[in-house]
Amino acid sequence: MTLTTTAVLVPLLPFLGAVAGLLLGRRTPGFVRPLAVLPTLAAAGLTVAVAVGQGGGPATDVATRLTPTGSIPIDLALHIDGFAALIAVLVGVVATCVQIYSTGYLRDDPRYPSYAALVSLFTAAMLLVVYTGDLMVLLVGWEVMGICSYFLVGHYWETETARAASLKAFLVTKLGDVPFLFGIFALAADTGTFRITGILGSVVNRGLDHPTLIALLLLAGVAGKSAQFPLHTWLPDAMAGPTPVSALIHAATMVAAGIYVVARLLPVFAASAAALVVMAVIAAITMVGSGLAALAQDDIKRVLAYSTVGQLGYMLGALAVGDRGAAVFHLLAHGAFKALLFLGAGVIIHAAGTNSLAAMSRMSGLSRRIPDAYWTVTVALLALAAIPPFAGFFSKEAVLGAAEHAATGAAHGIPGAAGWTVLVSGLLTALLTAAYAARLWLLAFKGRGVEAPDLPQALNSVRAGETPSPQPVVMNAVLWVLFVPTVALGLSAPLLPEWFDGRSLAPTLTTSVVGTGIAVVGGLVTYATWRHTTALAARTPIGAVVVDPDAAPGLAEETAIATHAPVYGDNAGAADPADPGRLLLGPLHRHAAVGFHLDAVYSALFVRPVRAAATLVRFLDREVVDTYVRGAGTAPRWLGAAVRRAQTGNVQTYLGALLAGSLVLAIAAVLVATGTGA
């Protein structure tokens, strides 16, 4: 097979798998699992083949005219360079892991067939976005991902939280997509093509007419998709979806699409210094704000969600200083360890029977119950906190190094202000990241109190005498698969530059020492605080677990999400005095727990005016428009009642009236004819 055929098959296979799954899922339950896993697995294998075939060499471009539009044509184009090939491998591997994990996680779920098909469709859309060379085709994949995300976040639609979260995710990302669409049109109008290669060539040769406007319009879409301030609020709420969905969509792939698009179109953004500064500021606000918010969350998945927002901020920051190699490197590393963290969180939630960190901190022995999750999640948290030698260290140092490079003015065409903004906020975020990673680890695994509930025993024909298999084997096996890149991806740092722009990604000494030092300080401070507060935990019993320990993983999580608000008072935070985050943040904690009131601001700015407008429209409809409609009915009825009185039933009366009428008409006709009456 040529490289092109292979690359075409990559998005096609999961798509066909999704179609087949949707068509056959209900009728032939036996085929659902193979149909879910095998196409994705094959696509993952093909992405590796594409990456090997591409081999970091020059980009492969193939195109066929999809449709003549009269002005700017739309092409079915493939553009495979080092970025696309490597990100596709990440998407393929994570999607395969998630599909395999889901077979265990949602094994008793009645809606598993449609769920698996949607995940496949989502994977196909993401791979299309990665491989395509045409912005219009990219937009198709982009929107398909949006709608799949809507359906998958709302998978537990019986719970109010999930319904609200899926709507919110859809609306907020659409809010960004509208400017994104306009940005694509403006870009095509300026350059005369939708092809990415053509656009980039045109930017280099002639420049753009409106670089800042286009960059900011595109940036709005990216902020929506990649959950950057101020459109990030959907991502923490989207944790109401099943854990594998969070891992796939909200950590490794869909949110990465926005970063990927900016990386692809970086020369467009770099054409405008203002856009770069705006990007840097957005990234800085996102990073620091999400780090603070993550410290205050009680739901383990919400901590990870805010962490995702922050890491995406790192990537956007790297792009703002013009180093897309560093951004994509961090994207790859983050995709691996964040998928691992989410899938591990799914195991933890299942084992603990709750998603509340406050409850877990009053539970001892959780780490002994789930040793696989304990070790892999520990390493992934170290990678998240950028502790050497794990993957996160290398990628984050690449970002910080690029920022330092720009701050010292060594980068051509990048404003120093952007460099300083990213560097300072990046270092601050490294501190916060280490702090919330340490807090999560301490609360989840080092809790003290009653023993963690027994894991369900009766899963896959456990016989007496054998070691009980407490959790589906696939769930733990997948963790170890993702463990490999989490540990080892950093070693690829010397190899990657030839796949990317050729700029070195090796950590520089200054940023490495400073960054690691700050991270260690953050972790140690959190540990000290935890030692201080943990005594309080015994005095405040809060660890109510309401989930049936025998429940299947998916059901356990659904129950945990649904009961979090009634048990702990809020979806996001818990009133737990033993939380080290509470002590660390001080008075900020209250605001950080609710995401710095951004939802309240949105509510005041958008929701309430829209509600008021809806009330007004209802009033206009009911009281004004309907009055006319009712009047149109009432007037003829009165008229009819009046005319009805003439209907006496006496034929002679009718005839008399007829005669009188004819006479009047005849006289009128005669008068008109003779001209005397006119």
Note the residues at the interface with another protein (CB under 8 A).
644-645, 647-652, 655-656, 659
Min separation Cβ 677 and another protein, Å: 24
Min separation Cβ 648 and another protein, Å: 5
Cβ–Cβ < 8 Å for 149, 173: yes
Identity of residue 672: V
Q: Which is nearer to another protein, 614 or 657 (CB)?
A: 657
Q: Which is nearer to another protein, 650 or 676 (CB)?
A: 650
Using H for helix, E for strand and C for coil, what is the string for 409-444?
A: CCCCCCCHHHHHHHHHHHHHHHHHHHHHHHHHHHHH
Nearest C-alpha neighbor of 559 from the set 359, 417, 376, 350: 350
Buried b (16+ CB within 10 A) or exposed e, 25-53: beeeeeebbebbbebbbbbbbbbbbbbeb
Helices then strands, counting H and E runs in the chain, come out as: 29, 4
Q: Which is nearer to another protein, 651 or 678 (CB)?
A: 651
- Residues with Cβ < 8 Å from 189, sequence gap 6 or more? 72
Q: Which is nearer to another protein, 274 or 658 (CB)?
A: 658
Min separation Cβ 606 and another protein, Å: 53
As a whole number of angstroms, the distance between CA 581 and CA 73 comes to: 54
Q: Which is nearer to another protein, 189 or 665 (CB)?
A: 665
Min separation Cβ 602 and another protein, Å: 57
Min separation Cβ 659 and another protein, Å: 7
Phi, psi of 79 (to 5 degrees): -135, 105
Min separation Cβ 656 and another protein, Å: 6
Q: Which is nearer to another protein, 464 or 651 (CB)?
A: 651
Q: What is the dihedral of CA 206, 209, 211, 212, to 10 degrees?
A: 160
Q: Which is nearer to another protein, 615 or 653 (CB)?
A: 653
Quote the tokens at residue 648. Answer: 């006496």
Min separation Cβ 655 and another protein, Å: 6
User: In which region does residue 413 sit, left (phi positive, over 0), alpha (psi from -120 to 50) or beta (all else)?
Assistant: left
Give alpha helix (H) positions in 25-159: 29-54, 82-105, 112-131, 135-153
Q: Which is nearer to another protein, 587 or 640 (CB)?
A: 640
Min separation Cβ 633 and another protein, Å: 17
Q: Which is nearer to another protein, 604 or 655 (CB)?
A: 655
Q: Which is nearer to another protein, 609 or 656 (CB)?
A: 656
| Four-residue CA torsion sign, 48, 142, 336, 321 | positive
Work out the burial of residue 299: count CB atoms within 10 Å of its CB; fewer than 13 is exposed, 13-18 middle, 19 or more buried. Answer: buried
Min separation Cβ 667 and another protein, Å: 16
Q: Which is nearer to another protein, 467 or 652 (CB)?
A: 652
Buried b (16+ CB within 10 A) or exposed e, 212-223: bbbbbbbbbbbb
Q: Which is nearer to another protein, 463 or 645 (CB)?
A: 645
Min separation Cβ 666 and another protein, Å: 14
Q: Which is nearer to another protein, 110 or 649 (CB)?
A: 649
Q: Which is nearer to another protein, 610 or 659 (CB)?
A: 659
Helix axes 135-153, 254-264, angle to 10 degrees: 160
Q: Which is nearer to another protein, 64 or 650 (CB)?
A: 650
- Residues with Cβ < 8 Å from 56, sequence gap 6 or more? 82, 498, 499
Q: Which is nearer to another protein, 410 or 643 (CB)?
A: 643
Please count the other Cβ atoms lying within 10 Å of the Cβ belonging to residue 583: 17
Please count the other Cβ atoms lying within 10 Å of the Cβ belonging to residue 128: 21
| DSSP one-letter string for 9-40 | HHHHHHHHHHHHHHHHTTT-HHHHHHHHHHHH
As a whole number of angstroms, the distance between CA 404 and CA 424 comes to: 9
> Residue 438 to residues 100, 107, 356, 387, 527: CA-CA distances in angstroms?
29, 32, 16, 12, 7
As a whole number of angstroms, the distance between CA 635 and CA 628 comes to: 10
Q: What is the CA radius of gyration of the chain?
A: 31
Work out the burial of residue 468: count CB atoms within 10 Å of its CB; fewer than 13 is exposed, 13-18 middle, 19 or more buried. Answer: middle
Buried b (16+ CB within 10 A) or exposed e, 151-174: bbbbbbeebebbeebbebbbebbb
Quote the tokens at residue 564. Answer: 């979090």
Q: Which is nearer to another protein, 650 or 674 (CB)?
A: 650
Work out the burial of residue 99: count CB atoms within 10 Å of its CB; fewer than 13 is exposed, 13-18 middle, 19 or more buried. Answer: buried
As a whole number of angstroms, the distance between CA 91 and CA 88 comes to: 5
Min separation Cβ 654 and another protein, Å: 10
Nearest C-alpha neighbor of 184 from the set 76, 125, 261, 108: 261
Quote the tokens at residue 190. Answer: 């300026």
